[in-house]
């Protein structure tokens, strides 16, 4: 084999499909060309792909692996803001399982040497039958990339170079020291394999625990948001019902007053008609007709008056609705102009900095170092607390309460004297595990809050 064809360590990238298998493999140089925009991947359009960066030795065995995410847009081009140093993470990664050439260097979400890249990594599945590390090992063995393999075949010796040992040297003496050394070697290998197996199981348990905590935090946040939305809708409906009840009561009072007035007027006219009937029937008939005409005229006048008032109210209401719509449109337009004016200066500078490869990293307690994409700068500037709370999968209110506890971990319960308990307590480092009334109270007040009757 010539020096140009000597096998060397090779860096490659393998894509995982949604079904769990490996759907594409490429050399790391080809992956760099993909990131530079030389080629696109239309089959991954509008998807977030799970990818593994691996280093393969000349015997087709994996020595290191980095599991990371990469987003593709609708055209199949990779995210331009992606900037994870894969080779650096691979060199600084911790120990992982043995895939045939000793423990590998493994970088994933639960074992990341650089904390601010942790959110862009993912944990491989180690479940029996669905082990992602086994998939990588088998893919490397299949050698679909066509790597140069080291020749392990034993060089045959010529017969004339073989020599026969004397008979007294055919069998090695059964020395006790040799047997003890062999037993010690086997015991050492057994302990090493056992330690590697324990480390692999701990990695799997850590991965499952973190996934479970993230799912619980997401469900808890969704439940709180849905509860707030339902409470707001209920309050709005109660307000509308109260207004309708007040309007109905007002109309009933008006109708009762009108009925009372008409009743008194009818009684007065009836009395006049009876008084006139004593004088003459003809005059009574004339008065009766006149009474009915006047009554109908007044009723018609009252009805016309109320109809006119209702029409005026309808016109006023329509005019007010039109003004509200115009005002809402004007407010929306002014907000849009404000956002455009605010973004004309700063966003251009941010785009230039991002084009130069600068990464916007902030630190928030509980969320750690967050890498902010250029498109998220506006939302982060509007509300840093809400942005950090969303990354921790909690509401902004809970994050603020946890932050006050994190900065001063003391009991917040009120004593009968009106002062706070203020006894130092254990700090809860994760916002999603923080619970008001439990995590920020000492054991005595925590027990008292559990025993307090509900309602």
- pLDDT value of residue 362: 85
- pLDDT value of residue 147: 86
Are 54 and 14 in contact, with CB atoms under 8 Å apart?
yes
Calpha distance 297→386 (Å, rounded): 67
- Domain ranges for the chain, please list them: 8-149, 283-358, 360-451
Q: Does pTM surpass 0.85?
A: no
Calpha distance 321→313 (Å, rounded): 12
Q: What is the pLDDT along the chain (455 residues), one digit of tens a residue?
A: 444 455 688 999 999 998 888 999 999 999 999 999 888 899 999 999 999 999 999 999 999 999 999 999 999 999 988 989 999 999 998 888 888 888 899 999 988 888 898 899 999 988 888 889 999 999 999 998 888 887 654 444 445 554 444 444 434 444 455 667 777 777 777 677 677 667 666 776 766 676 677 778 888 888 888 888 888 888 889 999 999 999 999 999 999 999 898 998 989 888 888 777 777 677 767 888 889 999 999 999 999 999 989 999 999 999 999 999 999 999 998 988 777 766 666 667 777 777 777 878 888 888 788 888 878 888 888 889 888 888 888 888 888 888 888 888 888 888 888 888 888 888 888 888 888 878 778 888 876 666 565 44
The residue to which tokens 């140009």 are assigned: 4
- pLDDT value of residue 437: 78
- pLDDT value of residue 381: 84
């Amino acid at each position: 084999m010539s020096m140009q064809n000597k096998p060397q360590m090779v860096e490659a990238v393998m894509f995982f499909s949604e079904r769990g298998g490996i759907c594409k493999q490429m050399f790391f140089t080809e992956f760099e060309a993909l990131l530079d925009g030389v080629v696109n991947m239309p089959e991954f359009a509008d998807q977030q792909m799970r990818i593994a960066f691996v280093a393969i030795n000349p015997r087709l065995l994996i020595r290191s692996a980095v599991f990371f995410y990469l987003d593709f847009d609708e055209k199949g081009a990779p995210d331009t803001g992606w900037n994870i140093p894969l080779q650096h993470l691979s060199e600084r990664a911790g120990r992982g399982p043995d895939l045939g050439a000793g423990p590998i260097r493994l970088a994933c979400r639960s074992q990341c040497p650089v904390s601010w890249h942790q959110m862009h990594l993912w944990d491989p599945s180690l479940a029996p039958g669905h082990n992602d590390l086994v998939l990588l090992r088998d893919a490397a063995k299949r050698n679909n990339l066509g790597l140069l393999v080291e020749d392990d075949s034993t060089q045959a010796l010529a017969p004339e170079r073989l020599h026969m040992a004397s008979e007294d040297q055919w069998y090695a003496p059964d020395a006790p020291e040799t047997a003890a050394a062999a037993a010690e070697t086997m015991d050492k290998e057994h302990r090493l394999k056992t330690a590697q197996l324990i480390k692999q199981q701990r990695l799997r348990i850590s991965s499952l625990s973190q996934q479970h905590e993230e799912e619980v935090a997401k469900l808890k946040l969704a439940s709180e948001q849905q509860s707030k939305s339902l409470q707001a809708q209920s309050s709005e409906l109660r307000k509308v019902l109260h207004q309708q009840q007040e309007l109905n009561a007002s109309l009933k009072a008006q109708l009762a007053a009108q009925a009372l007035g008409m009743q008194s007027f009818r009684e007065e006219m009836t009395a006049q008609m009876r008084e006139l009937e004593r004088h003459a029937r003809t005059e009574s008939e004339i008065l009766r007709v006149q009474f009915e005409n006047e009554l109908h005229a007044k009723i018609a006048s009252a009805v016309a008056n109320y109809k006119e008032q209702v029409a005026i109210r309808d016109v006023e209401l329509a005019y007010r609705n039109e003004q509200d719509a115009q005002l809402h449109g004007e407010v929306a337009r002014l907000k849009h102009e404000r956002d455009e004016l605010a973004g004309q200066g700063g966003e251009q500078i941010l785009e230039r900095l991002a084009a130069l490869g600068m990464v916007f990293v902030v630190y928030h307690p509980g969320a750690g170092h967050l890498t902010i994409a250029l498109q998220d700068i506006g939302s982060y500037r509007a509300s840093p607390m809400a942005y950090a709370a969303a990354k921790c999968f909690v509401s902004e209110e809970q994050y603020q309460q946890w932050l006050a506890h994190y900065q001063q971990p003391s009991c917040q319960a009120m004593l009968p004297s009106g002062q706070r308990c203020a006894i130092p307590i254990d700090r809860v480092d994760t916002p999603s595990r923080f619970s008001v009334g439990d995590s920020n109270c000492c054991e005595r007040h925590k027990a008292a809050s559990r025993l307090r009757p509900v309602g």
